[in-house]
Amino acid sequence: MSIYSALAINAPTVAYTSLHQVKKGLATKEYVKTMQEMHQMIRADSEKVEQLWKNHVQELSASSVQTTRGTLAQFLTLPLDTDVKEIHRILGDQVAQLSRQLAPVNRFGVISSTEGRIVWEREQNAVIRQIIDRGRDHLKQLGFQLGKTGTDIFESQFIVESGLNLDIIEHIVRDRIGIYAHPHGKHIEELDSIAFAAHNLVFFHGAMDGSPVKYEAAIHFSKGSQQYVPFLKKLAEAFEHLQQEYRFDHMSLWQRKLGLGGGTEFNVRVHCHDKKAIKDFVLALAKNEDKEGICNLLVKSGYLIIKEQAH
């Protein structure tokens, strides 16, 4: 039983994201290459951390078995050497099972990590144009330069299980990779503006492991004065219906972790292979006639950010 199960709560899946803009004069292609190298190193080191934990559990099990066997030998009249392998197997399985139950999370390091470049385009439809314009205004408020004077803006996303893994990712980047070493140090030198946020997963459909699709659309929004439980229930029902219609590779709803990050409290993200599917999704939300007007709220007050994924 981990601390999460003892508290009768689920270990949250957390998305740690950073928006960052390329410094003027730097080639976007090289910047993307630097970021891809960093993601690869973080994923590779996450696997090493996972293996370190497995080795630690095995060593703990072996040590506990040996200690238990020695203790039992003091009280039993029959020698334990008659079936040493079977004793090791039984006790080892029990200790290993207990270790897994007490482990705070199932996976250490990142579940997935992605990099995407924010893309803009002219839009004739008034509904979509307005929700995109609000997205541009939000980035300007964060200090990013848009328009002819602005350079490309990217979003890095790291999916982890529980806040514990935020500490592990920090250790990987700062201590194992080296925060000023290549490629992370190069990334620090090449970026201009930057903004961070962390969100908990509310629900999702599809793959969570960074399936290779071309685009991701994120609609950021706030719920207003509505109560959380009925609001999220109605939203989940609406998204279930839309998922059945559009069959996105990935569809997820995220709620900002308490006090971590600015902007709106929620965002919904969908992965798709073309931008037309994104536009159809936004228009479907606008036309959804739920009594509470929840879907319409997303379109009328939220803002849209579209990313082209960098694989």
Contact 150, 24 (CB under 8 A): no
Gyration radius of the chain's alpha carbons: 24
Q: What is the pLDDT, as a whole number, of residue 289?
A: 64
Which of left, alpha, beta for 176 (phi over 0: left; psi -120 to 50: alpha)? alpha
Domain boundaries, the chain: 3-26+111-164+191-309
Cα separations in angstroms, 216 against 83, 103, 112, 119, 287:
58, 33, 15, 10, 21
pLDDT confidence tier of residue 300, bands split at 50, 70 and 90: confident
Q: At the topology level of CATH, where does 3-26+111-164+191-309 sit?
A: Alpha-Beta Plaits (3.30.70)
**Tokens read off for 222:** 């706030």
Q: What is the pLDDT of residues 176-198, one digit of tens each?
A: 776 666 665 665 666 667 889 99
pLDDT confidence tier of residue 291, bands split at 50, 70 and 90: low
- Determine if the peptide bond prior to 183 is cis (ω within 30°): yes
Residue-wise over 31-64: b if at least 16 C-beta within 10 A, else e?
Answer: bbebbeebbebbbebbeebeeebeeebeeebeeb
Q: What is the pLDDT, as a whole number, of residue 121?
A: 80
